[in-house]
């Protein structure tokens, strides 16, 4: 553990710390952020009524639209001269959202990133190949400083130029790779193309996040790269990567949320009412310790559940795997659908390479989904189509046809929706170049 004292702090002490930080935070934002002062005054919230972390439900939510309305620096609690770094989101929809840090905030960022890397298996003295993007995205720089803080050496490769990344993995032999799960798959498939394997590199741990991924993808990455793959979660508004992390020896049981800095809640996506541990809803965070731009009850739009795991020595709460973002949820003929539900189905088939895309269209008034999924090279060789195949082969080749029908039935049985399934030859669906991969092409709005 990077910080054993805090990571194993008894819950009673953790609650006391959170309460002190919350009371301090609420008083600070009321005095320094006009947005919060107005909101408190309008909603009749008396700052002095917030006495402990148990009062957090009395506070209003902060939403992404509020950040856009206060663009760029409306949420600052310190003068701009005290800032040490500014990041912002890509702003594909409307204005970008800005997040700013003081030196103290950057220390917190490095601390939680270091804790996360250590929980993911990284140790001082190891080398880390960092393929998260450097720049306005918090992934690259955030993980970089965390690794240095932990005592690792960092190879700051960033995204793209997969050829060069493979050379560096072979030559420098880093034990740890940090990247999106889809990029880890790209690296694995490029290794295979070059007739290289996990024994030509020296990776032991892969710390993967920034986009949803499933157990199927984990299995694929672990076997192709020879790593223990763990989940790292975070978002710029809260700090960046390292809000939560899965432990390498507790895989599949959720990711520890570093609760001394980020207080998590799960609320109902329609009413905002708090939900009990174990129930799925929208994840909301209060940044208890952040200085420059703290947020009260920030509505992440991410869907998951929270629960304590009393069987381990770390005391902080765990968040389950993200189902997706509330705004990524497709509504198909009235049925709610996350692309990860389809991805889970692919786990049952060794015949498939788990690279896929969902294309949604409207025919007349009816939503249609086409599931495009790649077949594995081994399967193609087995059915005599080792050099690949075209759309026509799908109806001509009995193995491809049987596979298509089986998948259609399985999807209909499991998610209750009929979808068109198109098997694609390996390497025909766009792969990750390192950034976040979009699995959904929704053409209904265009
Ligand atoms: O993605 C920070 C990050 C960088 C996390 C590197 C992990 C590794 P944003 O660009 O602000 O920040 O995007 C945040 O990405 O609200 C989730 O919807 C999604 N996301 C992040 N981590 C995961 C994950 C970075 N492990 C948004 N699983 C979040 C699923 C994730 N989704």
Q: What does the angle CA 107 – CA 112 – CA 116 come to, to the nearest 5 degrees?
A: 145
Q: Residue 130: CB within 6 Å of ligand 1?
A: no
* Helix, strand, or coil (residue 263): strand
Nearest Cα to Cα of residue 257 among 290, 284, 292: 284
CATH class of the domain defined by 1-326: alpha beta
Mean pLDDT value of segment 343-361: 89
Measured between alpha carbons, how far is residue 246 from residues 84, 116, 215, 253, 317 in Å?
Answer: 29, 8, 13, 8, 11
**157-210: pLDDT as tens digits:** 999 899 999 999 999 999 999 999 999 999 998 999 999 999 999 999 999 999
List the chain domain ranges.
1-326, 329-442
Nearest Cα to Cα of residue 266 among 276, 256, 255: 276
Mean pLDDT value of segment 13-28: 98
pLDDT category at 78 given cuts 50, 70, 90 is very high
Mutate to test the pocket of ligand 1, among 90, 209, 318 (most ligand atoms within 8 A of CB): 209
Q: Say whether the peptide bond before residue 236 is cis (omega within 30 degrees of 0).
A: no
CATH number of 329-442: 3.30.300.30
Mutate to test the pocket of ligand 1, among 100, 235, 295, 440 (most ligand atoms within 8 A of CB): 235
**270-309: pLDDT as tens digits:** 999 999 999 999 999 999 999 999 999 999 999 999 999 9
Nearest Cα to Cα of residue 184 among 133, 131, 115, 118: 131
* Helix, strand, or coil (residue 221): helix
What spacing in Å lies between the alpha carbon of 406 and ligand 1's midpoint? 33
Q: What is the pLDDT of residue 390?
A: 85
pLDDT category at 114 given cuts 50, 70, 90 is very high
Q: What is the pLDDT of residue 248?
A: 98
Q: Residue 210: CB within 6 Å of ligand 1?
A: yes
* Strand pairing class (298-304; 324-325): antiparallel
Residue 150: count of CB within 10 angstroms of its CB: 23
- In this predicted structure, which of 157-161, 208-212, 234-238, 365-369 has the lowest mean pLDDT? 365-369
What spacing in Å lies between the alpha carbon of 373 and ligand 1's midpoint? 24
**422-434: pLDDT as tens digits:** 999 988 998 888 8
What spacing in Å lies between the alpha carbon of 235 and ligand 1's midpoint? 5
Nearest Cα to Cα of residue 262 among 245, 276, 243: 243
Q: What is the pLDDT of residue 91?
A: 55
Tell me how far apart the alpha carbons of residues 327 and 195 are, in angstroms, rounded to a whole number.
40
What spacing in Å lies between the alpha carbon of 174 and ligand 1's midpoint? 24
What spacing in Å lies between the alpha carbon of 426 and ligand 1's midpoint? 27
Q: Residue 96: CB within 6 Å of ligand 1?
A: no
Q: Residue 240: CB within 6 Å of ligand 1?
A: yes
What spacing in Å lies between the alpha carbon of 236 and ligand 1's midpoint? 8
Tell me how far apart the alpha carbons of residues 328 and 63 are, in angstroms, rounded to a whole number.
16
Q: Residue 138: CB within 6 Å of ligand 1?
A: yes
Q: Residue 140: CB within 6 Å of ligand 1?
A: no
pLDDT at 341 over 90: no
């Amino acid at each position: 553990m990077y910080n054993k004292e805090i990571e194993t702090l008894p819950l009673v002490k953790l609650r006391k710390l959170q309460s002190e930080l919350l009371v301090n935070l609420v008083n600070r934002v009321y005095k320094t952020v006009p947005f919060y002062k107005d909101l408190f005054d309008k909603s009749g919230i008396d700052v002095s009524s917030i006495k402990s972390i148990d009062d957090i439900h009395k506070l209003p939510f902060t939403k992404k639209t509020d950040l856009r309305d206060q663009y760029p620096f409306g949420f600052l609690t310190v003068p701009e001269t005290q800032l040490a770094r500014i990041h912002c989101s890509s702003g594909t929809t409307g204005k970008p959202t800005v997040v700013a840090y003081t030196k103290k905030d950057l220390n917190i960022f490095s601390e939680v990133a270091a804790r996360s890397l250590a929980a993911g298996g990284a140790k001082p003295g190891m080398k880390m190949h960092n393929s998260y993007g450097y720049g306005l995205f918090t992934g690259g720089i955030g993980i970089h400083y965390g690794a240095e803080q932990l005592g690792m050496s960092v190879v700051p490769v960033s995204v793209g130029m997969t050829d060069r990344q493979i050379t560096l993995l072979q030559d420098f032999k880093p034990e740890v790779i940090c990247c999106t799960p889809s990029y880890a798959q790209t690296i694995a498939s490029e290794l295979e193309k070059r007739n290289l394997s996990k024994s030509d590199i020296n990776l032991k741990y892969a710390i993967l996040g920034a986009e949803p991924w499933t157990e199927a993808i984990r299995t694929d990455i672990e076997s192709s790269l020879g790593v223990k793959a763990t989940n790292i979660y975070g978002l710029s508004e809260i700090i960046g990567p390292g809000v939560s992390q899965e432990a390498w020896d507790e895989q599949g049981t959720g990711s520890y949320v570093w609760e001394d800095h980020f207080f998590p809640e799960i609320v109902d996506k329609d009413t905002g009412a708090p939900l009990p541990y174990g129930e799925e809803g929208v994840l909301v965070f209060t940044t208890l310790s952040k200085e420059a731009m703290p947020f009260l009850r920030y509505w992440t739009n991410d869907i998951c559940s929270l629960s304590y795991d009393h069987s381990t020595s770390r005391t902080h709460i765990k968040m389950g795997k993200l189902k997706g973002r509330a705004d990524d949820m497709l509504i198909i003929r009235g049925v709610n659908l996350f692309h990860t539900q389809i991805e889970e189905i692919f786990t049952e088939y060794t015949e498939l390479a788990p690279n896929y895309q969902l294309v949604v269209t409207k025919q007349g008034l009816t939503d249609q989904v086409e599931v495009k999924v790649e077949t594995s090279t081994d399967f193609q060789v087995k059915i005599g189509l080792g050099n690949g195949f075209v759309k026509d082969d799908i109806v001509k080749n009995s193995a491809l046809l049987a596979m298509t029908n089986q998948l259609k039935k399985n999807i209909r049985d499991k998610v209750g929706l009929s979808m068109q399934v198109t098997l694609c030859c390996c390497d025909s669906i766009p792969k990750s170049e390192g950034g976040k991969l979009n699995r959904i092409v929704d053409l209904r709005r265009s």
